[in-house]
C-alpha cells in the first residue's frame, strides 16, 4: 500500500523527466475485495490491488494530465511526456492559477483547526484485514436468515483499504488513508422484496445479520401487495430514499455551476427556497463522514454552511473558480467567495461540488415509528431507483419506489402496496418536510453516501402504479 514517503520518492523521480515549470501527481492506491451472492449462495469472490499515478503538467496557461500504474523510470517518463505533449496542443487559459502551495494548504489546515475541526480516524486495521472467509461467514448468516423466512437473498459484501496522495512542485504534499466495508442485501419473496445497505470505514459499525432481518421483514410484510391509486400522499422516506433524492441537487452548489448558468441556484442564493427546518452543511470532519480532507488540488476541505433554515447561504469553490467568481457579475450576490477545498482534479469541466453532506436536525428528531404513528394515511418508502431529472431548474425528478413500499393507515403500517412512479419537485419536497429523524450515515444507489435523516413529507406526487 502506498505511503507518503513512497509517493514523495516517485514524484522526485518523475520530476527528473519533466521539462516544464509545474508538475503535480495525484496517487491512488487501493486493495479491494468483493463477495457476491445470489439464490442463497456465494457465486463470486474477487480481489484487486492497483496503484495509479495521475500526472499533470502546467505551463504558459496550459495544463494536461496522463496516468500510469507502472512506476519504473521508463513508464514515468512516458506518462510525463504524454502530459506535456497533450498540454502543448491545448488553448492557453489566461485565468489558470499556479499550482497550490504548501503554505496555502497549511493556512487552510490551521484555520480549520482553529474552528475545532479535528481530523477523525478513517482507517481501521480490522476493516483492512477482512478475509474472504470472514465475508463468507457473514454471508452465511444472511443466507440462514433468508432460509429461516423462506426467502431468497442476493447482494454483496465488500471491503477495501485505500490511500490517496497529492504532491506538486510548489512543495505541497498531502496524504490520506482510509478503509471501507459495505453490505447490500436484497430479500426476495414470491410477490415482494426487501432491501438494506450500509457502509462504514469501521467494519464494527456494520451488522449484516441485523440488516438481513430488516430486509427479510420488509419482504414478508409487503407480500401480495395492494394496488393503491396514484396521487399526492404524505410519505415517510427512510434515509436511503432521502439520500437518493437530495443527491441530485448538490452538484449545483459549486461556483462553476453558477458561472456556467447550469445551477438551479442561479438567482436564488440568499433566498428562502426550502422549509425552515432544513439546514445542510458540507463537513468532511463530521464523525459519520468519510473521504480525504483535501481536494483535487490539495486544498484543505473546509466546513461550509450550504443551507440555513431553508435559506441558500453559500456555495463551494475550487481555487480557480473562486478567482473567476470574484471578477464576475455574480460577485456580491452569491454569499462568501473564497476557495473552500472542494475542487476536482484539474483539468475538468465540473469545477467543484460538496461531497460530505450533513443534514442538521438538532432537537427535532422523530423515529420512523413516531412518524408513522402520526400519519393518518400515507406511504412508507424504503428506497427509490431509476431516478432521472426532468426539469433541472425546478429540480423535478422522476423515478420509482422499490423493495419495501407500504400503506400507512391510522398511524400503522397496514400492508405492502404496488410500487409507484413519482414526479416530484425536490424544491417542493424540502419545503414540505413535516418531521425528520436523527441524521445517520446512509447509503443508496443513485447518489454518494451522506449523513441524512428519515423524513415525513407532505404531498409527495405519485403519477402511476408499476407492474410489480
Q: DSSP assignment of 433-444, as one string?
A: EEEE---EEE--
Domain boundaries for CATH 3.30.2290.10 within the chain: 4-33+40-102
pLDDT of residue 109: 61
Residue tagged 422499490 (cell numbers): 402
Q: Residues 146, 152: contact at Cβ < 8 Å?
A: yes
C-alpha–C-alpha distance, residues 179 and 157, integer Å: 14
pLDDT of residue 86: 98
Residue tagged 423515478 (cell numbers): 399
Mean pLDDT by 10 residues, the chain (468 residues): 94 98 97 98 97 97 97 98 97 95 75 65 96 98 98 98 97 97 98 97 97 98 96 98 97 98 97 97 97 97 98 98 97 95 96 98 88 98 97 97 98 97 98 97 95 98 92
Q: Tell me the residue length of the chain.
A: 468
pLDDT of residue 274: 98
Which CATH architecture does the domain made up of 4-33+40-102 adopt?
2-Layer Sandwich (3.30)
Strands 231-237 and 152-168, by their bridges, are unpaired
pLDDT of residue 110: 61
Amino acid at each position: 500500500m502506498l505511503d507518503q514517503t513512497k509517493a514523495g520518492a516517485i514524484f522526485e523521480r518523475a520530476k527528473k523527466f519533466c521539462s516544464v515549470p509545474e508538475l503535480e501527481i495525484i496517487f491512488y492506491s487501493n486493495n479491494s475485495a468483493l463477495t457476491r451472492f445470489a439464490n442463497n449462495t456465494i457465486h463470486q469472490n474477487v480481489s484487486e490491488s492497483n496503484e495509479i499515478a495521475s500526472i499533470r503538467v502546467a505551463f504558459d496557461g496550459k495544463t494536461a494530465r496522463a496516468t500510469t500504474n507502472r512506476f519504473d523510470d521508463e513508464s514515468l517518463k512516458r506518462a510525463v511526456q504524454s502530459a506535456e505533449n497533450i498540454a502543448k496542443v491545448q488553448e492557453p487559459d489566461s485565468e489558470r492559477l499556479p499550482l497550490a502551495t504548501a503554505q496555502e494548504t497549511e493556512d487552510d489546515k490551521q484555520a480549520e483547526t482553529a474552528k475545532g475541526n479535528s481530523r477523525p480516524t478513517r482507517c481501521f486495521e480490522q476493516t483492512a484485514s477482512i478475509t474472504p472467509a470472514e465475508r463468507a461467514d457473514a454471508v452465511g448468516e444472511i443466507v440462514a436468515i433468508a432460509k429461516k423466512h423462506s426467502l431468497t437473498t442476493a447482494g454483496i459484501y465488500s471491503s477495501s483499504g485505500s490511500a490517496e496522495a497529492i504532491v506538486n512542485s510548489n512543495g505541497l504534499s498531502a496524504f490520506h488513508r482510509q478503509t471501507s466495508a459495505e453490505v447490500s442485501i436484497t430479500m426476495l419473496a414470491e410477490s415482494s422484496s426487501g432491501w438494506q445497505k450500509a457502509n462504514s470505514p469501521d467494519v464494527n459499525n456494520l451488522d449484516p445479520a441485523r440488516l438481513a432481518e430488516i430486509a427479510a421483514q420488509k419482504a414478508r410484510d409487503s407480500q401480495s401487495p395492494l394496488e393503491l391509486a396514484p396521487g399526492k400522499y404524505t410519505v415517510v422516506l427512510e434515509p436511503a430514499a432521502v439520500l437518493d433524492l437530495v443527491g441530485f441537487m448538490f452538484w449545483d452548489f459549486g461556483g462553476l455551476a453558477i458561472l456556467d448558468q447550469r445551477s438551479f441556484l442561479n438567482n436564488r442564493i440568499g433566498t428562502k427556497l426550502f422549509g425552515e427546518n432544513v439546514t445542510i452543511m458540507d463537513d468532511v470532519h463530521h464523525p459519520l463522514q468519510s473521504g480525504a480532507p483535501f481536494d483535487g488540488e490539495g486544498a484543505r476541505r473546509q466546513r461550509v454552511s450550504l443551507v440555513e433554515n431553508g435559506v441558500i447561504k453559500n456555495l463551494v469553490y475550487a481555487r480557480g473558480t473562486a478567482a473567476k467568481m470574484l471578477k464576475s457579475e455574480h460577485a456580491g450576490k452569491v454569499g462568501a467567495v473564497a476557495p473552500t477545498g472542494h475542487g476536482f482534479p484539474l483539468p475538468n469541466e465540473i469545477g467543484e461540488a460538496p461531497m460530505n453532506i450533513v443534514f442538521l436536525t438538532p432537537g427535532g428528531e422523530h423515529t420512523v415509528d413516531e412518524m408513522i404513528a402520526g400519519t393518518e394515511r400515507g406511504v412508507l418508502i424504503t428506497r427509490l431507483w431509476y431516478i432521472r431529472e426532468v426539469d433541472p431548474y425546478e429540480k423535478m425528478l422522476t423515478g420509482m419506489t422499490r423493495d419495501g413500499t407500504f400503506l400507512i393507515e391510522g398511524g400503522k403500517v397496514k400492508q405492502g402496496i404496488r410500487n409507484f412512479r413519482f414526479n416530484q419537485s425536490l424544491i417542493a419536497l424540502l419545503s414540505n418536510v413535516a418531521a425528520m429523524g436523527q441524521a445517520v450515515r446512509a447509503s443508496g444507489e443513485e447518489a454518494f453516501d451522506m449523513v441524512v435523516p428519515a423524513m415525513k413529507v407532505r404531498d409527495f406526487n405519485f403519477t402511476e402504479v408499476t407492474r410489480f
